[in-house]
Structure 1
């Protein structure tokens, strides 16, 4: 299986992904847009939202993501206390690294980690029903109001392949944004 090295903007955090991703999406949910608006205000942070309000993710099985350096830089951000999702940032340069659902078996890696020209092609846009005007989106890929059956089928297939395991990813602390 091919391996692709990835890194934060300053290069202190290094990771690699192995094999084919579960899927490559652009999320337009209210939570992703709210989190991006807050995280983009951190010092030296790069934009997370595209001009139409989408957040780019590439979903990988957790067992196909390996952190090789700089994990001491990882901190979590939650939109609210007890939120079921956490967004993890490399605090050395405030690069968003991944979004994780509690007990999930996959990581939604932020598209900004990929070097220019290597980001897997977009397969679908999800949660477009949260946008004030979804008609601004191009029709180059499916624009789904919510997650689709195909989306959940891909996640289930990955979980089965992992033996129904959901590995934990340790993160050392939290950030406030």
Structure 2
């Protein structure tokens, strides 16, 4: 990854929780979900990420065959690497995969969090994808000339 990330978030959406639980069941897989059920991501423009090596070890997982999102796992260690919205211009990289990852900016989709989870007020907590979240994605897309490229070194 190069350049400043779009943002760093913890997602509590039902899909992230379901996919995280499934990935964690893979043999030897490290944790995906936080203790509170959130999944931490660093969002980065696709044109600022490339797979230098090991692309042949990546395998996609979709919650349903036609799902517009795929979660990609390294088969050598069953580590969740990133989530890709197929028509998007960014990748959501699992934050634990990055050395020196930036601190979280916000929590999103908190309306889907597990029953009984109380979130602290140490950062903004949004019930859905906030205007700030959407604005940052749009601003990155504008900077990319409204392109949604693939990622160098990865299979689509």
Q: Shorter-chain TM-score: which interval? A: over 0.9
Q: Work out whether residues 36 and 117 of structure 2, in 8 Å CA contact, stay in contact via their aligned partners in 1.
A: no
Deviation at 1:102, TM superposition (A): 1.8
Q: Which consecutive residues of structure 2, in runs of 5 or more, have no partner in the other structure? A: none
Map residues 18-167 of structure 1 onto 2, 5 A cutoff.
18-115=2-99, 118-133=100-115, 136-167=118-149
Aligned residues: 154
Deviation at 1:126, TM superposition (A): 0.3
Q: Which consecutive residues of structure 1, in runs of 5 or more, have no partner in the other structure? A: 1-16, 173-177
- The structure 1 segments of at least 4 consecutive aligned residues displaced by more than 6 Å after TM superposition are none
Q: Work out whether residues 86 and 99 of structure 1, in 8 Å CA contact, stay in contact via their aligned partners in 2.
A: yes
C-alpha separation between the residues in 1 aligned to 2:145 and 2:30? 36
Give the aligned CA root-mean-square deviation in angstroms.
Answer: 1.3
Deviation at 1:168, TM superposition (A): 2.3
Q: Work out whether residues 128 and 134 of structure 1, in 8 Å CA contact, stay in contact via their aligned partners in 2.
A: no
Instruction: Using structure 1 for the length normalisation, give the TM-score.
Output: 0.83
**Deviation per CA, 1:1-20, whole angstroms, max 9, x where unpaired?**
xxxxxxxxxxxxxxxx1011
Instruction: Using structure 2 for the length normalisation, give the TM-score.
Output: 0.94
